[in-house]
Amino acid sequence: MKNTLAVFENFKIRRIYDEKSETWFFSVVDIIAVLTEQYEHKKGQSYWTTLKNRLKKEGSEDVTKCDQLKEKEYAILTNIIHQEWSDLTVKDHKSIKSLNTQDLHDHMSEAELIFTALAELSTCQIAETMEAAGMEENKVAGKTGGGIAKRARL
C-alpha cells in the first residue's frame, strides 16, 4: 500500500492506494472536511465523532464493530456512486483513461469532476436526511445520489 495526499479545492485528503485491488481509499475525516467546508482537521474529526455516535445509538453495525467506517465499504459505496452517474465502474473508467496507480480524479475532465462532486454531495445529503444506518441503506443513498448526477449529465 502506498500513502499519498490528494488535493481537492485546497483541501488535503489523505489516501492509500491498494495495488492488489487497484483501489484508492480516502480518509473519511478528510472527505467530511471537504463536504462541510471545514479547513480545520479538528472540526472534521468532531463531525465524524458526532456522526459515529449517532450511528452507534441507531445500532449501526459499521460503527459498533469498528471505530471507523471500513475502508472497503467506503470503496464499495464510492464505486456505486460513480457507476450510477457515469455508467462505468471506477476500475473501468481508469482503464479507459489508461491509468494504473494514478488517481482517477487527477485525470478527470472538469465536467466529470463536477458530476462526481454532485453525486457525492447528493449522496451525503440523502444519507443524512434518511438517517441512513448500515451498508444497505447507504447503498440506496449512493444509487439515488449518483442518479441525480446522471440525470444532470444526460
User: Residue 8: pLDDT above 50?
Assistant: yes
Domain count, the chain: 1
Residue range of the domain that includes 99: 2-153
pLDDT of residue 39 exceeding 90: no
pLDDT on residue 134: 79
pTM of the model: 0.57
Cell numbers for 72: 472497503
The enclosing H or E element of 32 equals helix 28-35
Q: Which of 93, 75, 90, 94 is nearest to 138 (CA)?
A: 75
Q: What is the arithmetic mean of pLDDT over 34-46?
A: 75
Specify whether the CB–CB gap between 118 and 148 falls below 8 A. Answer: yes
**51 vs 141, residue with greater confidence:** 141
For 116-141, letters b (16+ CB in 10 Å) and e give bbbbbebbbebbeeeebbebebbbbb
Using a 10 angstrom Cβ sphere, with 0-12 exposed, 13-18 middle and 19 or more buried, the burial of residue 58 is middle
- β-pairing, 23-26 vs 11-18, is antiparallel
Query: Does the pLDDT of residue 37 top 70, yes or no?
Result: yes
High-pLDDT (> 70) share of the chain, %: 86
Residues in contact with 35: Cβ distance below 8 Å, sequence separation at least 6, in sequence order: 120, 121, 124
Q: Rounded distance, CA 33 to CA 26, Å? A: 12
d(CA 62, CA 46): 18
